A = this chain, B = another copy of it.
Amino acid sequence: MTERSVINIFFMSPRTEQQFEDIRREKVEHIKLCALQLFAENGYDTTPISKIAKVAGISKGLIYNYFSSKEELLKEILISGLKNFISFLKIEEIDRIKREEIIAFVDGNLNLLKQNTDYYKLYFSLVMQPKTVQLLENEMRDVFGQIFEKFIHYFEQQGEDQPYVKARYLLAIFDGIGIHYIIDPERFPLDEIQEILITKI
């Protein structure tokens, strides 16, 4: 028991459960953000926990207070990204799929790409590996399953002859654009391509 602890008791008003929760959540988010940036830039495997700690301004040990392992940290980052994807694009709300909604989705997708470039970078660099896919199996099925269904539904409504193929194709195009934007964000003509894409739809 150090002097510090003692002082804490006498001079600081005790935090409420809620405050503790807030602090914790804030710290967790901070660590995740720092880790995401480093993972995106240098790769997951080549980013040591120690570096994350340094960038986050905390000790190595503390990270293990919030995440049980490095892989767990990765998983939470990836899942947060997927959740963000869902909520940002309001996928769940898209039930009657009209043209405007698809266009909104396209717009949203590309806007998200611009804002969350780091996340996409990390995502694309890992999605090729079976280990990652396994890690996110359920979550990915949920997210992409939903999107996929809605796209198929949309193309069916449009009277397309191969709605499944078209849906796959459209999603592939999204990711192609994503990758190229990530590799060369300065020069890749994202806005112009966004327009072309919407026109075609």
Task: Quickly give the copy total for this chain.
Answer: 4
Q: Which of A7-15, A29-37, A81-89, A93-101 contacts B (4 or more CB under 8 A)?
A: A7-15
Q: How many A residues face the partner with a CB closer than 8 A?
A: 54
- Partner of A164 from B2, B5, B8, B189 at Cβ < 8 Å: B189
- Partner of A125 from B5, B128, B188, B196 at Cβ < 8 Å: B128
Contact between B9 and A13, CB atoms less than 8 A apart: no
Q: List 20 A-B contacts (CB under 8 A).
A: A2-B17, A5-B13, A5-B15, A8-B9, A41-B129, A42-B129, A42-B130, A45-B46, A125-B126, A125-B128, A128-B182, A162-B189, A162-B192, A165-B192, A168-B189, A171-B180, A172-B176, A173-B173, A173-B176, A176-B176
Please report A residues at the B interface, Cβ cutoff 8 Å. Answer: 1-2, 4-6, 8-11, 13-17, 20, 40-43, 45-46, 121, 124-131, 133, 162, 164-166, 168-169, 171-180, 182-183, 188-189, 192-193, 196
